[in-house]
Amino acid sequence: MNYLNAAAALAVGLFLSLGIAVAQHRTHNAGHSSGHHAPAHHGSHFGHHNWHHVVPHHGRHIGAYFTVGNVHYYTPSPVSRIVSVGSSPALLPPRVVEVQKPVELGFAGFTRYDDLAGRLVFEANAMCLDMHYNYQNNKNFANAYRDAYVVLQTAKSIQAKEHQGNREIIRKRVDEMDRLFHHAQEEMRAWTRTATKQIGADTLPEKLAGVEAVLHHLCYDVGIAPHEQPAEVAPPPGEAIPPPLGKR
């Protein structure tokens, strides 16, 4: 019990030291994929149960990204997975991984998009390779792979600064990538694997979670709001109310 109390106190102290005052933050819900919390990139695998969409450091891409509530952060600390995806973080002793005070990202701030595009190239390339070698026998493979490959090539163009910092073009390209990725993701939900070549340590669903986590922060950084249903437009006076679906 003393151990749990000490761990809880440490967690509270770290939470306060990070300066993450979610309740005081503006309530601008600008994260792009509401309800899409990828299990493989949940903070419970990285020592922080209140984190979501964790993008760990990789290679020359120093630091990590994560969200707490609707607030996006970047930390220069080298965050890496401490709990394997197949195990249950809830059954392990509480552990808090200390990180340097994170920097809050502003919506449409365009401060990290080049770094995020580079990370997306890595994640999307791994996704495409896994699809190519191990999933070609699935329905709609050609369409899904085409979408995934466009995501990869578009990320490369942003990383290479081909758009010369034109924010409108970059925002448009990122929005296209996000829509194509989620379309491909839906196509792959029922796929089965025919093992030909192992690509990295992660499964395809874990690779998809990695792509989604990076896109989540990239969309926010370039100013793409959540994908919501379009607002219903009021009909002109005298127009009949349409019957419910299935009652026509």
* Helix residue ranges, H only, 85-240: 113-134, 141-159, 167-187, 204-222
Domain end, chosen from 36, 71, 104, is at 104
Range of the domain at 91: 10-104
Per-residue tokens: 85 = 């995806």
The count of structural domains within the chain is: 2
Beta carbons of 115 and 61 less than 8 angstroms apart:
yes
The residue among 71, 76, 78, 77 whose CA lies nearest residue 109 is 71
| 132 and 152 fall within a common domain | yes
Over its length of 248 residues, how does the chain's per-residue pLDDT go in tens digits? 454 444 444 443 444 344 333 333 333 333 344 434 335 777 777 778 889 999 998 888 999 999 999 999 999 988 878 756 555 544 444 455 577 889 999 999 999 999 999 999 999 999 999 999 999 999 999 999 999 999 999 999 999 998 888 999 999 999 999 999 999 999 999 999 999 999 999 999 999 999 999 999 999 999 998 654 445 567 677 665 555 555 44
Alpha helices in 30-140, H assignment, sequence order: 113-134
Q: Which pLDDT belongs to residue 12?
A: 36
Decide: pTM greater than 0.75.
Answer: no
H/E stretch holding 9: helix 2-17
